[in-house]
Amino acid sequence: MNEQLGVHPAKPRPDVVRQAEKVAALIVAARRHLAANSMIDLSALEGKVRTLCDAAGEAPAKDAEEIRCSIAAILKNLDRLTAELTAQHDQ
C-alpha cells in the first residue's frame, strides 16, 4: 500500500510524508467508495491538504525529493478520482 501512496517503507519517513499518506489514504478510500457506488465524503480533504502544504513548507531540503514523489502520487490519484467521478456522472 505504501508504494501506492508514494512512500518507500524502508526509509524513515519525515512528518510531511506522514501527512501526505493521510491525504493519499483519504483519496484512495474515496475511490474505493465510488467504485462500490457508495457516497464519498471529501470534506476533510482541504484541511489535510493545508496541513500537508504547511508541513512541506517547513520540511528540510534533504526531504524534497521524497516530498515531491509523495505529492506526485497524490496528484495522480486525484486525477484518477476526477476521471472516475466524471465517468460516473456521465452515466
pLDDT in tens, 2-29: 545 555 555 556 789 889 999 999 999 9
Q: Higher pLDDT residue, 14 or 41?
A: 41
- C-alpha–C-alpha distance, residues 36 and 32, integer Å: 6
- C-alpha–C-alpha distance, residues 33 and 27, integer Å: 10
Taking the CA atoms of the chain, what radius of gyration do you get in angstroms?
14
pTM of the predicted model, to two decimals? 0.77
Q: What percent of the chain has pLDDT over 70?
A: 86
Question: What is the per-residue pLDDT for 9?
Answer: 54
CB 27 within 8 A of CB 79: no
Listed in sequence order, the DSSP H helices in 1-91 are: 15-35, 45-58, 64-90
